[in-house]
A and B are shown apart, each in its own frame.
Chain A
Amino acid sequence: MTGDDRALSRRLWLGGLLGAWPAVLAAQHHAHHAASATAPAALAFFDASAAAEVEALASVILPSGATPGAREAGAIYFIDRALLTFDRDKQPLYRDGLAALAKSRLEHFPGSHSFASLDAAQQVALVHAIESTLFFELVRFHTLAGFLADPSYGGNRNLAGWRLLGFDDSFHFEPPFGYYDAQEPNG
């Protein structure tokens, strides 16, 4: 791109001469940040105890630590909404899966009250016991989606997931894009 092209492109960008796209990008950008800043009001599918169990599972999959995990990203809100919208048909898998998790928990840790109240080592041990189940695969997928899907779905709060991956949601970039093309003389 020559300097003139760049200037032209910049003018078109500012003036919107080639259509509505800068406004569209701006609106999308705004939507991300608006969505990511607002916590969903309440859970609508899970009751409090089921939500605590699923959130604890999600936290084992993507733990909190030096960087935000599933909990800070609000993955539970994504999952709750998913089960009432595009993944309605997965509701029975959650009901049955949570029941099976409770059964397995009592076998491993008799007298325990919930997955959420186990200590970290116990939780990890129990996830190892169920990690080949369809239920775990589903919770894993939902947790990752609640971390990395568009924030408008209720998760990925404060862009926690995208930030962990180094994914910049500007959706418009100019070269250089990365370390190696920046090293190129004519990159």
Chain B
Amino acid sequence: MPPQPSFLPRDPVDFLIVGAGAAGGVMAAELSTAGFSVVVLEQGPHHRPQDFRHDELGVSFHAALTNDTRLRPNTFRKTESGAAVTRRAIEYGCMVGGGSVHFTANYWRFHASDFHERSLYGAVGGSTLADWPIAYDDLEPFYTRAEWDIGVSGLGGSNPFDAPRSRPYPLPPMPVKSSGVLFERGARKLGLHPYPAPVAVLSRNFNGRPACVHCGFCESFGCEVGAKSSSLAALFPRALKTGRCEIRPDSYVRKIQTGPDGRVNGAVYFDKAKREVFQRARNVVVCANGAETPRLLLMSRSAKFPDGLANSSGLVGKNLMFDCGLAARGIFEHPLNDYKSIEATRVLHDFYAADPARGFYGGGGLDARFDWYPLAFAVDGLPSGLPRWGPAFKDALAEYFPRMMTVLAHTTCLPRESNSISLDPNVKDAWGLPALRVTFDYHPDDIKNCWWLLERQKEILDAAGARKVWTDDLSVLGVSRHLMGTCRMGRDPKTSVVDTFHRAHDVPNLYIVDGSSFVTSARQQPTCTIQALAYRAADAIVRAR
């Protein structure tokens, strides 16, 4: 691999990409491969795969791979009239590769219906539910491109609710775990349609990367063998190989600069030593995630854009959508050893579509998964009512850990204009910048949907023969790892922030490519669609050259 180029800040690069995550990796690889010069600014560090450890306390409990809210605090309030308190409210991968490094790796395409739910179900009171300005067919070629470029394992055609696909998955499904077998058994008894989970993990060697060794540490952890198809493992190596892409880790952007012509011309960032650098660029692509992207745009106000960059609609930061869904858990007679291999090997989309007969808007996908590493399990994973210390507690740890599994729901989160990312007027981060303020409350239908699905989850575990079934309560909803909707895509500049190819309506050389473009939440698991959208955005840029 050639050494990384070292672009001079005063010389404009073709594209300056802010954020090296799921979308930033795609944009960097596609644009540099097409011949453009690219600088990627990433606020987090650049880990080598061999740095990743199976250390639950150090990585998961101490949030080693995610945003450090001691340095960059969040504030949170439920409603616009409430007082915001300082607490962790959002979580994202903070490193080269972003959330694609430490995610579970569920890699679900949207259904065709996801793009026009407003037309299908009508208006929902208290929500800004809208159709996407694009359809599944517009995105299908880029779903396929994503799956074949990064390496996704799955079985095309096995989910009867999926939209048509132009090509099978490049890799066969991962081997089924006991949780998948039991889930399948229970679901089939109920007449449902479980299928092998599509995951961004290699079931076989692929493009010079090794197959998964089933270590079991996907969610919250980085993959030390490079079998998880993160931007770090699958995309940045290709970008760097071009010799036209420079990744600058530990680079924290505070402002995108606008010139007198109304076009952006670069970004000011703090380097590792907290020195300010201004990198010039002909185009800027913001891929900083659905929370940090609107924050950066709001911090980038100027005489030309007094309410924040690309914010003539007033919608930058609005319509924030969160992670949603509850867990049902079951214990079985024999050991599942569900801690081995990837988290989830079976999925079910029978309840994905909304159904007006339920009396609310909403739906969800379910997966059978491992959800508790040993320490988290011991702290919090036993059913309530069991002892929390003493000999019976110790016996329960030994009995439950190898024998339990989780059925997790991934559910709709309705967009609401009152849910937002904004700049906290009081709290500052360690660089003196305004803290990220989250204003968020679930729509009542989101909650009804969670409870309704939780009954379906319990039924599946019962049908699978669980000796005992127990569930989460709502208190688990509160920190979101899926950050969507804050720079909505649309055709009308008055009601959206980016156009159908992710160009800001207000600024011709500014692109916004990440979960912020989402019009609806689909059924969570956004990474696949974030990346497909990024391939599509890059393709449009390259074709327009």
Contact = CB atoms under 8 A, between A and B. Distances in A.
Interface stretch (A16-24, A42-50, A93-101): A16-24
B335 A162 contact: no
Contact of B337 (A60, A166, A171, A183): A166
Contacts of B209: 18
Interface stretch (B13-21, B349-357, B385-393, B488-496): B385-393
Contact of B215 (A67, A171, A184): A171
A152 to B, nearest CB: 8
B374 A167 contact: yes
A153 to B, nearest CB: 6
Nearest to B345: A181
A181 B214 contact: no
Among B49, B334, B337, B391, chain A packs the most CB atoms within 10 A around the CB of B337
A122 B472 CA distance: 34
A107 interface: no
Main secondary structure, interface of B, reads: loop
Among A12, A25, A164, A177, chain B packs the most CB atoms within 10 A around the CB of A177
Interface in A117-163: 124, 127, 131, 140-141, 144-145, 147-150, 152-153, 161-162
A184 B179 CA distance: 12
A172 B374 contact: no
Contacts of A173: 213-216, 340-341
A61 interface: yes
Contacts of B211: 1, 5, 9
B210 A12 contact: yes
Contact of A131 (B61, B214, B389): B389
A147 B398 CA distance: 13
Interface in A21-41: 21, 24-25, 28
Contact of B225 (A8, A21, A148): A21
Contact of B394 (A63, A131, A179): A63
A92 interface: no
Contacts of A149: 55-57, 375
Contacts of A24: 50, 224-225
Interface residues of B, number: 56
Contacts of B224: 21, 24-25
Contact of B402 (A144, A165, A183): A165
A172 B215 contact: yes
Contacts of A140: 379, 388-389
A148 B378 contact: yes
A122 to B, nearest CB: 14
B181 A184 contact: yes
Contacts of B210: 9, 12, 18-19, 21
Contacts of A62: 389, 393-394
Interface string B302-335: 0000000000000000000000000000001011
Given A28-B54, A62-B394, A184 B340 contact: no
Interface stretch (B170-178, B290-298, B358-366): B170-178
Contacts of A28: 53-54
A145 B57 contact: yes
Contact of B213 (A164, A165, A172, A182): A172
A187 interface: yes
Given A150-B58, A180-B332, A166 B402 contact: yes
A65 interface: yes
A7 B398 CA distance: 35
A181 B208 contact: no
A167 B53 contact: no
A164 B337 contact: no
Interface in B217-243: 217, 224-226
A12 B180 CA distance: 28
A165 B181 contact: no
A69 interface: yes
A183 B181 CA distance: 9
Contact of B214 (A69, A166, A174, A183): A174
Contacts of B180: 181
B398 A60 contact: no
Contacts of A177: 175, 177-178, 214, 336-338, 340-341
A77 B300 CA distance: 49
B463 interface: no
A5 to B, nearest CB: 6
Interface string B154-196: 0000000000000000000001111011100000000000000
Contact of B390 (A124, A150, A153): A124
Contact of A61 (B49, B217, B377, B390): B390
Contacts of A152: 55
Given A21-B210, A141-B379, A173-B214, A187 B389 contact: no
A159 to B, nearest CB: 11
Contacts of A21: 49-50, 210, 213, 224-226
A21 B222 CA distance: 13
A112 to B, nearest CB: 20
Nearest to A69: B394
Given A28-B53, A65-B391, A150-B54, A144 B379 contact: yes
A109 to B, nearest CB: 19
A179 B390 contact: no
A181 B178 contact: yes
B401 A167 contact: yes
Contacts of B62: 86
B304 to A, nearest CB: 45
A67 B216 CA distance: 25
Contacts of B402: 165-166, 178
A111 B165 CA distance: 77
Among B334, B335, B339, B389, chain A packs the most CB atoms within 10 A around the CB of B389
B389 A180 contact: no
A181 B339 CA distance: 14
B139 interface: no
B397 interface: yes
Contacts of B181: 180-181, 183-184, 187
Contacts of A178: 177-178, 334-338, 340, 402
A127 B401 contact: no
Given A61-B393, A165-B377, A180-B334, 5 more contacts: A21-B226, A28-B54, A164-B398, A177-B338, A178-B337
Interface of B: 49-50, 53-58, 61-62, 175-178, 180-182, 203-205, 208-211, 213-217, 224-226, 332, 334-341, 374-375, 377-379, 388-391, 393-394, 397-398, 401-402
Q: Which 3 A-B pairs have the closest CB atoms?
A: A178-B178, A179-B334, A180-B178
